A = this chain, B = another copy of it.
Amino acid sequence: MIHFDSDYMEGAHPKVMQRLLETNLEQTPGYGKDSYCEQAKTLIRKACGNDTLDIHFLVGGTQANTIVIDALLNHHEGVLAAETAHINVHESGAIESCGHKVLQLPSHAGKVDAGEVQEFITKFYEDETYEHMVAPGMLYISYPTEYGTLYTREELSRLHQICRNANIPLYIDGARLGYGLASNASDITISMLPALCDIFYIGGTKVGAMFGECIVANNGLLKHFFPLIKQHGALMAKGRLLGIQFSTLFTDGLYMNIAKHAIEMAMIIKNGFISNGYSPFIDSPTNQQFFTLPNALIDYLSSFATFEIWGNKGEHETTVRFVTSWATQKEHVELLIGKLNSYSNR
């Protein structure tokens, strides 16, 4: 069996494991007050081209989203997000459990439309009863989105401008940030992000780390964030584990290099299906590939590979998702496409 279910099926990149092993018996102070965290922050500030950035390390993505959103919203505010956003669908109500509504916008292959964001905000304040309604207090987007799609630099700029005009922060969920930046379709780099939004996180769990996400905020945005992390039960006693991992990922371009590998593997899959006559369900340039396939083909592929059924099963055809990662082996991808080619040529 070969596996394309998700990008969190393995442990950590070998270099990350090696550093964890090398430092294992060193003694450091707890709660992220160690030199490895400092080192990682320095490396990330450098990669982002801004040495004033406020950086915090957390364990997981839902945790990062919840704490950031809890930190930034006022009581009467909610977070604008696509209806397909992870925070709206797959976090078991984490945002609401902190008291805040997800204000749903239409999803366009996982993306929000700047015009619709602006329209929501404009209509909100035009409504005479707006003080009885949940105010738009920030905008959440993901890069890449839950459907593997990417915003262009121009789109991000426009969203950010709308947010600035409305005096609300723009937050980018970067659970798969590396796989977005490494895509051939991306026209941005990590160093552009601090100017394109107010706060984002660099996903580690899915991109080479054993676990860990790195929140990067413009200076002054987050207040009293340390006790809030603790209050959410998200403060690691051995904080250095996060520092060690992120400093490794941001040394010698490791983060981007391993992300590029995942993209190359994804493109082999994508092109393989296309060349066999299947059109993508969504045209994703990143590490998640969605195809609507005949159920017979799905049955055949399932005999030697695992992947995810996306949504409900159809009568004749069903949409499926193939995911690659830093750990995906080229032989597995070639095996998949080889068998697909044979199947088509029966």
Contact = CB atoms under 8 A, between A and B. Distances in A.
A235 interface: yes
Of the candidates A6, A14, A24, the one having the most CB atoms from chain B within 10 angstroms of its own CB is A24
Interface residues of A, number: 81
A67 B321 CA distance: 33
Contact of A78 (B23, B96, B206, B312): B96
B92 A131 contact: yes
A308 to B, nearest CB: 9
A101 B100 CA distance: 9
Interface stretch (A42-50, A56-64, A287-295, A334-342): A56-64
Contact of A75 (B97, B236, B238): B97
Contact of A101 (B3, B96, B134): B96
Contact of A76 (B25, B75, B123, B228): B228
A17 interface: yes
Contacts of A100: 93, 96
A38 interface: no
Given A75-B70, A75-B224, A210 B241 contact: yes
- 9 smallest CB-CB distances across A and B, nearest first, come from A63-B233, A76-B227, A11-B24, A92-B230, A9-B27, A92-B231, A93-B134, A8-B237, A96-B101
